[in-house]
Amino acid sequence: MKKILVTGGLGYIGSHTCVDLLEKNYEIIIVDNLCNSELDTLNSIYSITKKKPKFFNCDITNYEELFHLFKTNNIDCIIHFAALKSVSDSVQNPKKYFFNNVEGIKILLRCCKKFKVNKFIFSSSCTVYGFPKVLPVNESMPFGEASSPYGETKIRSEEILLKFCKENKSFKNISLRYFNPIGAHNSNLIGESHKGTPSNLVPIITKSCFNKNIKLKVFGNDYNTKDGTAIRDYIHIEDLSKAHIKAYEYIKDSINNYEFFNVGTGIGYSVIEVINTFEEISGKKLNYIFAKRRKGDIEKIYADIKKVNKKMKWKAKFDLKKMLESAWSWELKRNSNKKTLK
């Protein structure tokens, strides 16, 4: 039976997508170098699905290892998550981001061409729109000026995929331009976790309730928004993971060999709205401070989702309250586990 290769499959989005794929009875192979993930996530995937997929501790920039993996496995499709993703870290370490994110996709495509793997689903980002002048952003808009080296790697990766599709007519790609995934799986066995200090808003909020060393900073309170704080389109991780199932089902019958879709809710929430909603659902009073804007941060962005709703028959189900409830439930479970271990 042909298999789906999931790169970065033990990461946040990858692990949730692996669960959905296994629950749909797809055969998968996970590749992950564990730089931002934990091997124990493999056990959590098994606990949820009662299925243990093949796993390779492998870096996507290592052509020899990937070549062997492709040669010894019958791969039908790649779902590619294995990229570095922190905006702030990319500003500090741009070379690291270009090597992993851009060279990594080139090496994967070399293997695809060699072994005739002709389906590819790419984990892209709304950062490809840069600093949008019109909202909501829709797919007809051109790439904007990259707001960070991370954003530039996503633009470069999409350009590489488009060129590859033009040169290889039997190859089909879908790029999913994510907005801001938050929350955790309903089992509380997988969710958003980080090695080191998180850089995304929601895990910083939840972790700051237990760790006084994590300071909750609101970067910028002078944006041109209703409360002065930045606006984002937040999407529940389970909604996002299911978009990949829809993408795989769609790509098999698609007559187009290059497509891209926004994956969000179409609703923008400010940082203060997220904080207030979290306080409401958790009963916690958050101590936060305002700080200067971060380089690379966008003022406001949210998605036009008509294309993905219509063509892929996918639509987000969870509202912000449900998203934050699942993120908080995940954090509570993790901290109760830590106490038990002590």
Active site residues: 150
Tell me which residue has tokens 């290769």: 5
Compute CA 174 distance to the chain's CA centroid, rounded to the nearest angstrom.
15
Single out the residue of 17, 27, 165, 28 nearest to residue 81, CA to CA. Answer: 17
Element (H, E) at 246: helix 237-253
First to last CA, the chain: 45
Instruction: Report how far residue 76's alpha carbon sits from residue 7's, in angstroms, rounded to the nearest whole number.
Output: 14
Six-digit token pair at 221? 């309170």
Element (H, E) at 28: strand 28-32
DSSP assigned state of 98: I
Single out the residue of 330, 226, 230, 314 nearest to residue 265, CA to CA. Answer: 314
- Residue 198's DSSP bridge partners are none
Pinpoint the alpha helices (H) of 7-128: 12-23, 40-49, 63-71, 87-92, 94-97, 104-115
Instruction: Report how far residue 34's alpha carbon sits from residue 41's, in angstroms, rounded to the nearest whole number.
Output: 10
